Chain A
């Protein structure tokens, strides 16, 4: 397990863009075709909830089910092609020092927190609120309909052959990263998860860093 660890040759000092996303914040940016995009888990076990859209037509966007069906596999790692609902390859993972990323678990929301944890958790900040503010601010027609099933970089959501599913302890650590090359112009939207209800990040959400190379 986790045999797919691959390191990148790219140096942070050569990146054309760098930004640190604080826990609970959202971040949205266009990435050009051929650019390399890295997400770095600064403190370890932080979930970077991520959506991608085809920048030429955001109605065509990341599809968890098309990505799973195209690979015949549940977990994302080096070599995974991130597919859109139209079957477009949006990005391809080219380096990964974590080894496994989830696309089944989706993002927390205030509404789903009432279902998953307790009705009185409804006030707590959640990823799908961040996603909504992201798409609303993107100077486009985008809204709730565009908030779909996302990738959870650095999250471990193992499925057993018997068909059970759980949220396991993270397998990430400080300094681990995942890197992908854009196969077409894409818009990336990250909600750096503020989740305080489950132990995946030891109840302490932390920042992640994004870097882009030409």
Chain B
């Protein structure tokens, strides 16, 4: 996707870190894998009604997909669309495997606490999600299956899953356009199925810019009739609200 609009926001986020912001509808978030092998765990909520949240099953079955890619959408649990994928380098992003638990991190990588390692300590995706959620009045009850940007998890015929190493390369990026004002909560911890025995979460760059208006022939609308109906639901909601 060509980008002529100037950046409203830009920052780098190191590996094993967390971030949350409200991003308004009509804006894009671009995430860039700076070194290759990044994983961005993301949760999304309607910023004004935080009980409305990203819904993995509706996203998958509504679009008959198992993994996320352009031009598919991120559906909420209320028949609406939170965001659409408008640019996509890696072409495969996981949304079924969740994020790392503290027990998993300790088992895989060992333990490094703050007193010993300061900001190089080992942290779990779940803990970072909970810290950010807590700042918006949310908590454990709001944890649902998240998106894992840049991570490819391949299924076989029997449903066994395997992590595909080297899927995302340095400089590859994915851009999502928000259709609802959204609370975006993310962490840059390693994918829970990443077989790398070392704790090596990778940095990403985050950029926000204005999106072009959504037309009736937008690829995200046209890719599935379900998406067209969900876009109409979303537009009705925004029309009544604003």
Residue total for A at the interface (Cβ-Cβ under 8 A): 46
Per-residue A-contact encoding for B149-174, CB less than 8 Å = 1, 0 else: 00000111111111000000000000
Complex Cα distance, B77 from A74, in Å, reads 21
Q: Please state if A166 and B64 are interface contacts (CB–CB under 8 Å).
A: yes
Q: Which residue of A lies closest to B231 (CB)?
A: A115
Any B CB within 8 A of the CB of A69: yes
Any B CB within 8 A of the CB of A114: yes
Q: A65-B96, A109-B79, A111-B79 are in contact. Are A161 and B157 (CB under 8 A)?
A: yes
Residue total for B at the interface (Cβ-Cβ under 8 A): 50
Any B CB within 8 A of the CB of A138: no
Q: Which chain A residues numbered 51 to 79 have a C-beta less than 8 Å away from chain B?
A: 59-60, 63-66, 68-69, 72-75
Any A CB within 8 A of the CB of B84: no
Any B CB within 8 A of the CB of A106: yes
Complex Cα distance, B92 from A161, in Å, reads 13
**Stretch of A27-35, A144-152, A180-188 at the chain-chain interface:** A144-152
The A interface is mostly helix, strand or loop, or mixed, namely loop
Complex Cα distance, B51 from A145, in Å, reads 6
Q: CB within 8 Å of A: which residues of B?
A: 51, 55-58, 60-62, 64-67, 75, 77-80, 92, 96-99, 101, 103-104, 126, 139-146, 154-162, 192-193, 226, 229-230, 232-233
* Residue of A109, A116, A166 with most chain B CB atoms under a 10 A cut-off: A116
Q: Which chain A residues numbered 163 to 198 have a C-beta less than 8 Å away from chain B?
A: 163-167
Q: Please state if B143 and A85 are interface contacts (CB–CB under 8 Å).
A: yes
Per-residue B-contact encoding for A1-13, CB less than 8 Å = 1, 0 else: 1000000000000
Nearest CB in chain A: distance from B163 CB, A: 9
Q: CB within 8 Å of B: which residues of A?
A: 1, 59-60, 63-66, 68-69, 72-75, 85-87, 100, 104-107, 109, 111-116, 118-119, 128, 143-146, 148-149, 157, 159-161, 163-167
Nearest CB in chain A: distance from B61 CB, A: 5
Looking at the complex, which one of A105, A115, A167 makes contact with B79 (CB distance below 8 Å)?
A115
Looking at the complex, which one of B67, B98, B142, B230 makes contact with A145 (CB distance below 8 Å)?
B142
Looking at the complex, which one of B56, B157, B160 makes contact with A149 (CB distance below 8 Å)?
B56
Q: A69-B193, A74-B159 are in contact. Are A64 and B140 (CB under 8 A)?
A: no
Interface contacts beyond A105-B61, A112-B77, A164-B64: sample of 6 additional A-B pairs, CB < 8 Å, sorted by A: A1-B158, A85-B126, A111-B233, A114-B79, A115-B58, A159-B159
